[in-house]
Amino acid sequence: MEKGTAAVGDRGFSALELPIIIQEIVDDLQPLLSPYQAAFYWYAFRHSIAENGNPLPRLSTRGLQSGVLKSSRSETISLQHVRETLAALEALGALRKEGEPNRDSTPYRVLIPDEIEACRKFRAERAAAEPKPEIAAGDLDYYNVRENRMKVYERDAYKCRYCKKQLTRFTATLDHVTPVAENGDNSFDNLVTACLNCNSRKHKRPLGDFLAEH
């Protein structure tokens, strides 16, 4: 296991974000994993985001073989099982190769549930199965109420509606389709997910003028 170095412009995670990320891993990702897959993911997470906020660790099959799981007789799991487990996590979208391997290790990105399509789908299915409470008038604010902001992000699959960049709840912002200065409200239909760059560039400009540049 080697510590990765974040690429220029790559965003790390702060210690304040860790409790939310861990909760979402437990709620939205772990139910989709086998015990071995969960152990491998937590190992990668522990040695990346949890350790230093950097989602880009380097992993080796032999390091995983000796470091993740051992039986009571200290027998390591097979290299083939390690490779199969890594492949399963890649197929799910929980890990992603970020470059070519060298003789010692392979660079990976550890993705969090907001970035994993299977987790977003699992979360949406769970929410759809839950009973819908009556909505009070004060809860119709989808900009200032955190729980409601999440619903806009979920609708947009955590992607910027302008440049299509994949975001997370920590990097996403909300943009008013009709600006507040033009009597736009904080309703569900008047808000879209946007990256900070697009949101800053659009600001109070008419949507049509901004989209014409893309």
| Residue-level pLDDT at 5 | 40
Least confident of 32-41, 64-73, 108-117: 64-73
Phi, psi of 50 (to 5 degrees): -70, -30
CATH C-level class of 18-111: mainly alpha
Where are the domain boundaries for CATH 1.10.30.50 in the chain?
A: 131-211
Of the pLDDT bands very low, low, confident and very high (cuts 50, 70, 90), residue 169 is: confident
| Residue-level pLDDT at 141 | 87
Q: Mean of the per-residue pLDDT values for the chain?
A: 83
Where are the domain boundaries for CATH 1.10.10.10 in the chain?
A: 18-111
Instruction: Report the CATH architecture of 131-211.
Output: Orthogonal Bundle (1.10)
Question: Based on C-alpha coordinates, what's the Rg of the chain?
Answer: 20
Contact criterion met (CB below 8 Å) for 11 and 169: no
The percent of residues in the chain predicted with pLDDT above 90, rounded, is 49
Is the pLDDT assigned to residue 75 strictly greater than 70? no
Residues 6 or more apart whose Cβ sits within 8 Å of residue 199: 173, 174, 175
Burial 23-37 (b: 16+ CB within 10 A, else e): ebbeebbbebbeebb
pLDDT tens, position by position, 176-195: 988 888 888 899 999 999 99
Residues 6 or more apart whose Cβ sits within 8 Å of residue 208: none
pTM of the model: 0.71
Is the pLDDT assigned to residue 33 strictly greater than 90? yes
Contact criterion met (CB below 8 Å) for 3 and 36: no
